[in-house]
Structure 1
Amino acid sequence: MSHSPERNSNAKPPLERSSKLQQQQEEALKHVISKMQLLHSTVSSSPSPSSPLSDSDASLLPLDPPAPNSTALLSDELLLAIFSKLPLSQYPNNSLVCKRWLYLHGRLLQSLRILDWGFLDSGRVADRFPNLTEIDLVHACIRSPRNSGIIVSRKTVSLLVDSLFIPNNGGFIEEGDVLKSSVIDQGLGLIANWYPNLRRLVAIGASESGLRSIAEECQTLQELELHCCGDLALKGISQCKNLQIVKLIGCFDGFYSSVISDIGLTILAQGCPRLVRLELYSCEGSYDGIKAIGQCCQMLEELTLYDHRMDGGWLAALSFCTNLKTLRLKSCKSIDSSPGPDEHLGCCPNIEELHLQQCQVRDKQGMKALFSVGGAVRDVVFQDCWGLADDVFSIASICRRVKLISLEGCSLLTIAGLESVVLSWKELQRLRVVSCNNVKDAEVTPALASLFSVLKELKWRPDSKSLLTSSLEGTGVGMKGGRFFKRLKP
């Protein structure tokens, strides 16, 4: 093959190049030998451990070479697969190793609670966390000291306050402490553009326009939690066809106040027909709002009312929730002030669980209506309910298919009231009695003791002095397949 003279004009003969390469290697070898000799002489003439090294001596000591970065040879996809196997608690520490790990952990993180609105408004959140599917904006929308160690909590809301804070008019959040709705709507618009695959959003003070931008761009949104929003704001989520879980937090004394009434519940029911779980916190309403939910949301399986402010007669609307399986009432001052006649109540045919937590249950009429609507219930749970005396608890005998009864913190209930109800439940399999001080071991009757021996589960700790639990330990009572009596060997 011939070569042009232009390309080979600067080329050197092979013999000359090999001799020059050999000369460079010999010089490098001599340099290494001299360094080793210098190091040997330095070590041999090193001072005693008691005398420190001088600057000239320290400069002669060799420096350790930097550790090789073995992860540099791995691709981003392989590192992401490795990081995904680690627990979430290690993410913050691993992200501090280097800029590459920081970037990769940002891609791996999917859930984020934003505390600083500027972080969202500047666009840095999208650069830092490009694959978010769950975002919480509540704390970023409320002006509060970030470094304070004082937390004020009420129900499901927590807020940091300063030590010199003086609440005005009994409230911890003033109107000026929450960002304007227009600002919040702009932030929601940014989120809608950055995260079209968003699945869960927690927001506060949003209006119709901000929620509409989320509904239009985030078609995969499945869970939405709204604080301090009114009825008309719910028009914005009418296009969230895939929304399955909704939590609406209305009026909280000392924090913020908003009104969610039958109008908002009707708008929600018509716009989100695929709801599976609905939680209403301090919301107003009546028979009409619950009826609209039952008629439009045929897939609704779980309904939670927290400190509800429903008008009398709302219980009768539960009969329209034909697929309802779980009903929870928490911190309710009353069940139903005016439930109406029994023939108009109806029932929930598929209900399985009924939970009452920290509720006032002294009203016999309201409790009777509740058990009539939930007559097919199988699990009944009372936790720290006030007014659950024997006569009120006896109403529960209306439910004939109960398999589990859990009683905790019911101090007015006695062993007689308990026995009169549980013996009437022929399908009862599990019994839990905890911290019910008026239920005494000494008053357990033979009929109740025989029931204990056939139960699949028995948790009996009515008070701190109860001896029955310790005496039953190891006997197999209350355990499925256990034997109460054992044959003694001769």
Structure 2
Amino acid sequence: MLSLPDKKPNSDPNPNLEPNKTPAVKKKRRTSWSGPWLDSNEALKHVVLKMRLQSLSNSSSTTPPSESDPESDPFNSRPSRHGNAAPDYASLLSDKLLLKILSKISDKKQHISNSLVCKRWCMLSGKLIDSIKLLDWEFLESGRLTFRFPYLVDVNIVPSSIKSAQNSGILLSNKLYSVYLDSGVGENEGFLVKKGDVLGSDVVDRGVRILAEGCGNLRKVVLMNVSEEGLSFLADECELLQEMELHCCGDSSLKGIFKCQNLQILKLVSHLDGIYDSVVSDIGMTILAQGCRRLLRLELVGCEGSYDGIKAIGQCCQMLEELVLCDHRMDGGWLSALSYCGNLKTLRIQCCKSIDSNPGPDEHLGYCPSLEELHVQQCQMREKQGVSALFLVCQTVREIVFEDCWGLDNNIFDAVSICRSVRFLSLEGCSLLTTEGLESVILSWKKLDRLRVVACNNIKDSEITPELATLFSVLKELKWRPDSRSLMVAGLAGTGVGQKGGRSLRK
């Protein structure tokens, strides 16, 4: 039988210690990481104290915090949703200061990521968004759009104004609008958008009212199928409105635009082939001319009209500097009304099947005295009478641009020689024009100093005459690429142009 040794009542568990001495108590480690730094670095301790005072001043507190109070510590770690401690540094910044920091981000897409941080960042990021394209009408009608983005200045609600099958996989797009197509596209009476798919005027007016009440600083809006009532309310609430684009609006709707006294840029899209159709005639043009007298730029797309409508615009909108006509449906004789646009500087004619079917006698045409630029793009120019009338009205022009114009041959192009003040000529995609036709015109222009010829396949390097080569050598700017094989060497032999060490094409 084994027996255990008796324990001494006063046995010393640590023989190395001296008798009657208590062991040293080990110090607990600080739970805050800033402890050792603050003990050894007075400067850092001073910075932390300053941040505490700033935090208290933001919360309107006058009692200085205690260093032992963990809730008053600006570096106090707070548990995140993953259970890990995460310091909340942004809480030290006021909304004004944080908003100023976020505004320095140049990439607007980054604001979307910032809005996902927390509710506070979501509200502040929304104040930095000033332009938006609405895709969901419910987002506007519920009031969330104006609450989320109170400082909008540019809003486009057209994409949400048409009901379309978002999951169809077929997207038709042009420069003005994009629409998804479904299997029943052939049953829409020749249009890709059914009349029932466009939101009614009463629904659009209600959305415009919500938008105007929540965003009174609007500068630009893009609307569709809005009525007179909606435009009137928009004009009353948004006095700073300067730019407007209207789709699928008729003459009666334009009565509401009469109150937009500060409107400077207006775009009317009346008809789009295969998408939707509405009518803007001389009546609508006269209404907008009398109401928008400060217009600087006017664009008419698919609009009907005649001499009377253009005349009203010229007489009332005396500050108009740029006029754009796209796929116009004007009656014959409208060109002569351009002489009433006394301050017009730029005229653009785009995608038109005819310039003017019946311009009338030359003595009744007149001309635009201040016109400086003429742009003709993707237009039919086979009718010489209408084209000649256009050049006669624009005889004071200094810059002429032809781009992808059908029917522009030597005979038609010869009519542009009446414009004696041309300094810049640009030709692109004019495949019927030859070197001979180009030379006969530009040699008569004594002020020409810039020339651009691109993708005109009937203009050849081998047909360049010495006279034309001499003109090239004195131009300030020359871009010569009539086709992909053009090297402009054979025609410029002996002139020194285009050769290494020779004359430069740009001065």
Counterpart position of 2:91: 72
Show CA shifts across 1:218-273 (max 9, x none).
11110110000100100001011000000000111211110000000000000110
Task: Report the TM-score, using the length of structure 2 for normalisation.
Answer: 0.80
Matched, 1:239 2:230: no
Counterpart position of 1:18: none
- How far 1:215 moved relative to its partner? 1.0
User: Which 10-residue stretch deviates more, 315-324 or 95-104?
Assistant: 95-104
Q: Residues 211-290 of structure 1 correspond to what in structure 2 (within 5 A)?
A: 211-290=231-310
Work out the CA distance in 1 between the residues paired with 2:255 and 2:198.
Answer: 22
User: Which 10-residue stretch deviates more, 166-175 or 209-218?
Assistant: 166-175
Shift in alpha-carbon separation, 1:100–1:341, aligned structure 2, 3 A: same
Q: Which has the larger radius of gyration?
A: 2
- How far 1:31 moved relative to its partner? 10
Q: Residues 342-357 of structure 1 correspond to what in structure 2 (within 5 A)?
A: 342-357=362-377
Work out the CA distance in 2 between the residues paired with 1:80 and 1:147.
Answer: 38
- How far 1:99 moved relative to its partner? 2.5
SS at the partner of 2:366?
coil
Counterpart position of 2:101: 82
Counterpart position of 1:442: 462
The number of residue pairs the alignment matches comes to 425
Contact 1:315/1:345 (CA < 8 Å) preserved in 2? yes
Contact 1:172/1:254 (CA < 8 Å) preserved in 2? yes
Counterpart amino acid of 1:399? C
SS at the partner of 2:127?
helix
User: Which 10-residue stretch deviates more, 71-80 or 227-236?
Assistant: 71-80
Counterpart position of 2:317: 297
- How far 1:164 moved relative to its partner? 7.0
Work out the CA distance in 2 between the residues paired with 1:118 and 1:147.
Answer: 18
Shift in alpha-carbon separation, 1:27–1:193, aligned structure 2, 3 A: farther
Work out the CA distance in 1 between the residues paired with 2:104 and 2:202.
Answer: 41
Contact 1:452/1:477 (CA < 8 Å) preserved in 2? no
Contact 2:461/2:489 (CA < 8 Å) preserved in 1? no
Contact 1:150/1:163 (CA < 8 Å) preserved in 2? no
Work out the CA distance in 2 between the residues paired with 1:408 and 1:127.
Answer: 48
Matched, 1:477 2:476: no
Work out the CA distance in 1 between the residues paired with 2:454 and 2:260.
Answer: 43
Contact 1:244/1:277 (CA < 8 Å) preserved in 2? yes
Which of 406, 419, 422 is equivalent to 1:402? 422
- How far 1:147 moved relative to its partner? 4.5
Show CA shifts across 1:135-190 (max 9, x none).
11111111013345422124522112246754522211101101111111111111
Which of 476, 480, 485 is equivalent to 1:460? 480
User: Which 10-residue stretch deviates more, 213-222 or 465-474?
Assistant: 465-474
SS at the partner of 2:277?
coil
C-alpha RMSD over aligned residues:
2.0
Counterpart position of 1:425: 445
Contact 2:338/2:367 (CA < 8 Å) preserved in 1? yes
Counterpart amino acid of 1:133? V
Shift in alpha-carbon separation, 1:125–1:155, aligned structure 2, 3 A: closer
Which of 183, 199, 202 is equivalent to 1:182? 202
- How far 1:27 moved relative to its partner? 10
SS at the partner of 1:381?
strand
Counterpart position of 1:131: 151
- How far 1:120 moved relative to its partner? 0.6
Work out the CA distance in 1 between the residues paired with 2:176 and 2:432.
Answer: 28
Task: Report the TM-score, using the length of structure 1 for normalisation.
Answer: 0.83
Q: Percent identity?
A: 60
More helix by share: 1
- How far 1:204 moved relative to its partner? 0.5
Contact 2:129/2:152 (CA < 8 Å) preserved in 1? yes
Counterpart position of 2:74: none
User: Which 10-residue stretch deviates more, 127-136 or 150-159?
Assistant: 150-159
